Structures are given as structure tokens and as C-alpha cells.
Amino acid sequence: MRAKLRMGFAPFLSKLYISTCRTSSLPPSSSSSVIQPWLFIGLGNPGEKYQSTRHNVGFDMIDAFAESQGISLTTHHFKALFGEVVVDGVPVLLAKPQTYINLSGESAGALAAYYKLPLHRVIVAYDDTDLPCGVLRLQPKGGYGRHNGLFIRLKSVIYHFRKNREFGRLRIGIGRPPGQMDPKAFVLQKFNKTGRERIDSAIKEGCDILKMVVTKGLTEAARASNVDQKYKHLVSHDQQL
């Protein structure tokens, strides 16, 4: 049994399985004694050139969550920087696809398939210009969003999830580009001081939200966190951040 688990899951999952069986009244052969992991995926572009840009706040979220748990993402696994941790007894897998953002589905789909995860155990974190800078929105499922860049990005993820949209999303608001500025140029720029402060604060809040997902479930975490975020930064859009 242990050998099979090591082949099918990351090493820490087999250890958790063994520990769970020892403390459970269920026999080791019972599949219900295995705690199903969460998979948190942050979208962004690899390389120093893109660090701290608006497009990489998904990466920032995963890095911050990993740091809050005392780990770093150093393993390359299915085209992603990958890490694993146990949060309140629940295994959590963390991934930053290194395929460039519009091809993120190649990594996300492979990871979900390898660990045999239902998509309601997957959260994808990404930047969103439809939300004011620093505002977060957690959704159990959804579509592509209204703007073309988000359509292209999530199209890849959805395609590699076998066209299934039933996965969680943590949208991280970055505000809209000012005036007639090209959205592609906007998302590849860094924040100004005020924008960076708002994003850093939002990232900390996002870590707490992700922990709530693990402990209370996606639906309850979305209900609680979205109420708190609803009236944050009472402006239509922060165009100069």
C-alpha cells in the first residue's frame, strides 16, 4: 500500500496517509481515511524581468502563502515551481506554472490530473483589471471575465481542465489601465508606491483567505471573505496605481 501511494502522490501525502490510518478507527485499506489535498495555483510569468509586475500577483500570492507556512517552492514538477505543506492536518499543494501566463493550463491540468483532484479542490489565483487595486474576490467557479487578456489566460486553464470551469478562483484586483493605455503594457508594469502597498496588504489578506479555504471549505471562505472585501477601497477603479 505504501509503495502504491508513493507512486501516485507526493512523498508527504503517503506519510500523512499512514499517520491518519494510525489515528483512525477505519482500516488502512479504506480510501475514506485519506485526506484529499488542495491545489493552489498562482498565475504569472517566469523570469526576473516580470517580477513585481501587475501580471505576477498570482505568483506573489503563492510565494506569500508558502512563506507563511515556512516553505519555499524549489522543486520543478509538471512545468511548475512546486511545494507541499500540511495546514491544520490537510495537505496543500502549491504551484507556480513556468510556461508563461497564457499557457498556464499545461501545468495546471497536468497537476490536477496527476493528483486525481476534483476541480472543487483547486484554486487559481490571478490578476484582474475588473477589480480595484488591492480588492480580492474568491469564487467557487466562474467564466473567463470580460477582458481579452483574462479570456486568453483562463482559456488555457479551462481547456486543460477538460473544458470544465468548476474550479475556484482567487481574483486579485490591479485596477484598470489609465486613459487609452494598452492593457498589455499596463499589466507588465510595476505598481507605484501606493499600489504596491495595497497589493502587499491584499496578499496578506489572501493568505488568510486561503487558510480559511483549507479549514472551512471554499464556499464558506468565499462567503466570509467577499463580504469583507465588498466595500474595500471605495473607488470605481484605481487607474494610476
Q: Which residues are catalytic?
A: 55
Opening angle at CA 158, ends 155 and 163, nearest 5: 115
HEC profile for 150-215?
HHHHHHHHHHHCCCCCCCEEEEEECCCCCCCCCHHHHHCCECCHHHHHHHHHHHHHHHHHHHHHHH
Q: Which residues of 167-184 are buried (b: 16+ CB within 10 A; e: fewer)?
A: bbbbbbbbbbbeeeeeee
CA distance 44 to 58: 6
* Residue closest to 113 by CA, chosen among 74, 58, 80, 162: 162
Residues in the chain: 241
